[in-house]
Amino acid sequence: MPPIPDFQTDLNKEFIATDLEVSTVTPTSVVITWITRRRSKLWQLVPAPVGTNTRLFLGTNNRDLKLVHEDSTPRAFHRVHIRGLEPGRRYFFSCESSGITPLPALHVTKKPGSFERTYSFTTLLPPPGKYLTSIVLANDIHIGEVRQGINLGPLFPTSVSASHDKKYPETMFTSMLEELGKRGSPYLCLAGDITNSGKQAEAVRFRDLVDGYGTQNDDWMAVRGNHDFPKHDDPFGSRIAVFQKMQLADHPSGLRIIGIDTTYKSGGGRICADQFAQISDVLRNDPDRPTLSMSHHPVTKDSVNSWPAGQTFMLRKRDRLELQKLHVKAPGVFLHFSGHTHRMRRNKPDLFGAHTEYLENAAVAAYPGGYSLLHLYEGGYILNFWRTSTPRALDWTYRSRWQMMGIGPHLTVGTVDDRNHVVFADLSGLEPYGEIPEELRV
């Protein structure tokens, strides 16, 4: 494995500013990120990070931009969070690091008309009605993992931890919990791959960390992923959730949360008949109640067709269709989210008349490295992806950018709309719970 290059600050040598991303867009704020580094070399897996200053200019037209952020601290991963914007307004921006303007580099950010190509963005307009509550969507933590990018098996092009941080999954998870604590500790939904290999020590360590956040089902719920699949014994089952059994939680707002175990031996998924019966009974008895559903494996044909591994990586066809049929019959199921692919992507449903949004959510453990916040209103919801932003988390995010020889992020980042969007739905049956977050206050 090639060595991880040291952080560099010599600006007399050539460096580039790249990977420009409009990461998060809310009604009143935006997060813009980029990196500065040396050019890639054939013998180097991870290009050397270069520390530069950070400047960002913003305005409502591209001819009159004002400096709104300046930081002289040398950084390689630049993250600028601008607050106090107007909902539904288009803004233009420019940014620079030591005089160099960062450019987009990933497939989705380089598309014509993208926010990164036009150097502009439009803040979201909240759905109608009162703010109700917020829920966290997260997945793919991989406690116990030591290298990211195992899609290529034992081959060398994976991202490994630095010598000073051998437990990057814990760094990413604890950093996320720290940020959520500052947000008032909203209810946390974890959609699988909690551990790396389902070992006892990994399950114990997860519980040590998450129990500091709150009580299972009252404050958080976790479903099993393929990495949590039981082998000789089932530590996940004894400490977190029983194999192939539906989980159910009642949020104080009245929101119903359903957790589905879709794991089955290999990377693909199934739902057993008994669990389907549990899901069917719950939805049939109260079909109109606002409901959030989750599983580890994606549940649409659109996911199958858009992922390189295809059907072998997803929930099997008969189970996808049966689950979606249950959703169609239950008007209250407004969102089903999953993990597994580590990407942000809004999927098309298979069935005519579907009202449920199907979302794949990016991983906690690796690039883009974060979680989504689901903000519920009487007339719908806002979904925002947030990259975990502690210094140690961003340090690992820089390194995990190069997983799968740098190909991984092209598949996982998603479009701005995948990461930030508004959906209209009738959630008026819920009660307000918790204070409105800062980024939603107008």
Structure tokens of 347?
Answer: 């999927």
DSSP string, 111-126: STT-HHHHTEEEPPPP
Flag the least confident range among 5-14, 37-46, 263-272, 378-387: 37-46
* Token pair recorded at residue 46: 């991870």
Alpha carbon separation from 284 to 220, 275, 333, 334 (Å, rounded): 25, 14, 12, 15
Report percent pLDDT > 70 for the chain: 94
Distance CA 424, CA 76 (A): 39
Class of domain 15-123: mainly beta
Q: At what angle do helices 317-328 and 273-285 cross, to 10 degrees?
A: 10
Query: Is residue 365 helix, strand or coil?
Result: coil
414, two tokens: 């998603």
For residue 337, which of 384, 381, 294, 386 has the smallest C-alpha distance? 294
Q: What is the mean pLDDT of the chain?
A: 93
pLDDT band at 152 (very low <50, low <70, confident <90, very high): very low
For the stretch 281-316, pLDDT in tens is: 999 999 999 999 999 999 999 999 998 888 889 999
Q: Where are the alpha helices (DSSP H) in 293-351?
A: 301-306, 317-328
The arithmetic mean of pLDDT across residues 334-359, rounded, is: 96
Nearest to 300, CA basis, from 315, 288, 282, 283: 315
CATH of 131-440, one of 3.40.50.300, 3.40.50.2300, 3.60.21.10, 3.40.50.1860: 3.60.21.10
Phi-psi region of 280 (alpha: psi -120 to 50; beta: other; left: phi over 0): alpha
What amino acid is encoded at 350 in this protein? D
pLDDT in tens, 423-435: 999 999 999 999 9
Token pair belonging to 242 = 């029983």
- CATH 2.60.40.10 segments of the chain: 15-123
pLDDT given at position 442: 80
Predicted pLDDT at 265: 82
CA trace torsion 283, 289, 290, 295 (10° rounding): -20
pTM > 0.75: yes
User: 10 Å Cβ neighbour count for 385?
Assistant: 24
Distances (CA, A) of 132 to 135, 177, 182, 253, 256: 10, 22, 19, 7, 14
**Peptide linkage before 368 cis (omega within 30 of 0):** yes
pLDDT digits over 153-169, tens only?
Answer: 444 455 555 545 668 99
> 3-state class of 274 per DSSP?
helix
